[in-house]
Amino acid sequence: MIDVFFDELVWSYAETRDRVERMPNEMMMFTAFFHEFMEQFADDTPKYLHMKTLGLALIKQNQSIFYRKIREAVRSVHLRSKNNSRISRSKAPRVGRGRTRRLV
């Protein structure tokens, strides 16, 4: 159950990020994201304080696992391959592709 919660949390975190940084920086940002997420339960401080403490300890102990999950989630949320058939940002063809090729 806690795995499902953290998997959903990783996916919601991956939607806010566009690239993955080095592990210490990324884990610091994910910890801040978790802290902000748990702040919405600040009214019930005694009830959810232990969940926040245990969650932070779990993130600290399993940094490499969470970093791998974040890296996979960010890559699958923001696909960047050339064969990706995502919707282009503008309706005009060939806009934003880099340098133009001159036809001679």
Residue 9 confidence (pLDDT):
94
pLDDT tens, position by position, 34-79? 999 988 877 766 777 888 889 999 999 999 999 999 999 988 876 6
In this prediction, residue 4 carries a pLDDT of 92
pLDDT tens digits along 18-42:
888 999 999 999 999 999 998 887 7
Compute CA 34 distance to the chain's CA centroid, rounded to the nearest angstrom: 11
Domain residue extents for the chain: 2-77
Q: Give the predicted TM-score (pTM) of the model.
A: 0.69
In the numeric block, which tokens belong to residue 86? Answer: 């995502």
Q: What is the DSSP annotation of the chain? A: -HHHHHHHHHHHHHHH-SS---HHHHHHHHHHHHHHHHGGGGGGHHHHHHHHHHHHHHHHHTHHHHHHHHHHHHHHHS---TT--PPPSSSSTTTTSSS-----
Give the list of residues 6+ apart from residue 9 with CB closer than 8 angstroms, or none. Answer: 33, 34, 37
DSSP letter for 82, please.
T
Rounded CA separation 40/46 (Å) = 13
